Amino acid sequence: MSEPMQDVVVVGAGIVGAAIAHELSRNELAVTLLDREAEAGFGTSKANSGIIHGGHHTDTDTLKGRLEWVGNQLWDPLCDELGFGFARVGELTVALTEADLPALDHLIENAEEKDIGGVEVWSRDRICAAEPQVTRGVIAGVFSPHTAVVNPYEAVFGLVEAAVANNVRLRTLSPVTDLHHDGDTWTVTTPSATFATRFVVNAAGLGAAAIAHMAGVDGFEIRGRKGEEYLLDKRLRHLVRRVIYPCPTPLSKGTLVIPTYDGTIMVGPTAEEVDDPDDVTTTTAGESTAFAGARRLVPSLSERDVIAQFAGTRATIRGDDFLIGPTEAPGFVNVAGIQSPGLTAAPAIARYVADLLRHGGLEMPPKPLLNMIERPVHFASLTTEQQRTLADTDERYRRIVCRCEFVTEGEVGDAIERGATTVDGLKFRTRAGMGRCQGGFCATRCIELLSADLGIEMSEVTKRGPGSWLVLDRPDDEVMIEPEAP
């Protein structure tokens, strides 16, 4: 099926593609956002540490170093606009040996070069007073008040929903199978539709090199770097109040101890080069590595407190910088190699790409008025009086679906109206299934609600898209029934 002529097709609906689509939606443009997954944000973006970095970890001689601090400052207005969870908790990068001290000096130098205020050296005594659970072996640290935590999947959903409200078309389950350029027009082919467009923005993450190759643009290779993360029981909330970093290494920022926006403590990530970009397994070795690194920072951490674990694979390229810019193929823009601090920089990347398109000849008249989206209800965070009022207005808010996270049927229904089509889509939008029992009590009800609201059989409901079915569909006479005990 052929679609109307587009100004821009954005390939990839992760945090970067979503931010680009959202930025473009502010203008009078025809924009389509494509993703191969069942829902936006189901790739790397749903499986990262959720940290908005303070801006002083990267050097200014790299593109990501220049975009990191700009991006950091753009998150507050985005949160105000879209209503996702976001908190500036601050961070401490701690030195455990004399050999670590030059790394702290480098962080201070970066902050001064970028004119980032408030970044300062803390003594051992000050660290121990502020964070009593940090190891007594700490000798010094660098504090930044600018570091924040965010739920990255919530941010993706908000960006995409706002973009769609302003006429961006989202097409999921739409992997790009072919790209062809003729004159001033690109033809983008997916299994279900063909799009003609003036510009293509390649924000395909782990698939960016393959998309570029289809466009006749080579010269870079994507390597997967897997990071495993471990979530701890909420009874440990406030174990630390700031993100705790070790001194960084050339490979990564190390294993962190992270107070998430929702109150859990997260340990990770690891950093392992992998050949299979779809490898998101967690391993015993990864857990041991993560906790060994984390216990150097906070000795009381224990694997016994893990309630969930997951992994995400980051897209890296040689040189470890972002690869963003026009290519020798007219109208084809690469946005590749967006690893850490890609989440932090995403809003700045979006503006950068919009400027590239403008300089490439795309006229972008701003819309006189934008359609705003309503903030989703988070029932657990409301006051008792607000909860009563809402429950009196809509009886769905009287029925609890997820007991661990206190998620109501009203929130689940709202998430489905906003675009959730899978169990994971509900989980990431509402937190149903993210608590201590990990869906043991609420999964069946979530499947029932998806089935009823989407008008599909329960056997058609999936965890995260095709191939991840949850309910077996077979005739009644084939169902095995255990005999009653005598």
**Cα–Cα distance for residue pair 419/376, rounded to 1 Å:** 12
Q: Which of 22, 53, 56, 378 is catalytic?
A: 53
Question: Tens digit of pLDDT for each residue in 119-169?
Answer: 999 999 999 999 999 999 999 999 999 999 999 999 999 999 999 999 999
Is CATH 1.10.10.1100 correct for 379-460? yes
Question: Tens digit of pLDDT for each residue in 229-283?
Answer: 999 998 998 899 999 999 986 656 789 999 999 889 999 999 999 988 888 999 9
For the chain, percent of residues with pLDDT exceeding 90: 86
Architecture of domain 1-87+147-221+317-373: 3-Layer(bba) Sandwich (3.50)
Tell me the three state secondary structure of residue 255: coil
Active site residue 53: yes
Question: Tens digit of pLDDT for each residue in 58-115?
Answer: 888 899 999 999 999 999 999 999 999 899 999 999 999 999 999 999 999 999 999 9
DSSP result, 378-438: -GGGS-HHHHHHHHHH-GGGGSEEETTTTEEHHHHHHHHHTT--SHHHHHHHH-TT-STTT
- Residue 286 pLDDT greater than 50, yes or no: yes
- This prediction has a pTM of 0.94
- Which residues 6+ apart lie within 8 Å of 331 measured at CB? 181, 184, 186, 198, 199, 200, 360
Q: Do domains 1-87+147-221+317-373 and 91-145+223-316 have the same CATH topology?
A: no
CATH number of 91-145+223-316: 3.30.9.10
Residue 277: predicted pLDDT? 85
Tell me the three state secondary structure of residue 479: coil
Domain locations in the chain as residue ranges: 1-87+147-221+317-373, 91-145+223-316, 379-460
**Cα–Cα distance for residue pair 256/245, rounded to 1 Å:** 5
- Residue 478 pLDDT greater than 70, yes or no: no
**Cα–Cα distance for residue pair 463/168, rounded to 1 Å:** 26
Q: Which long-range contacts (CB under 8 A, 24 or more apart) does 413-416 make?
A: 413/449, 413/453, 414/376, 414/377, 415/376, 416/449, 416/450, 416/453, 416/454
Structural tokens at position 430? 């509402």
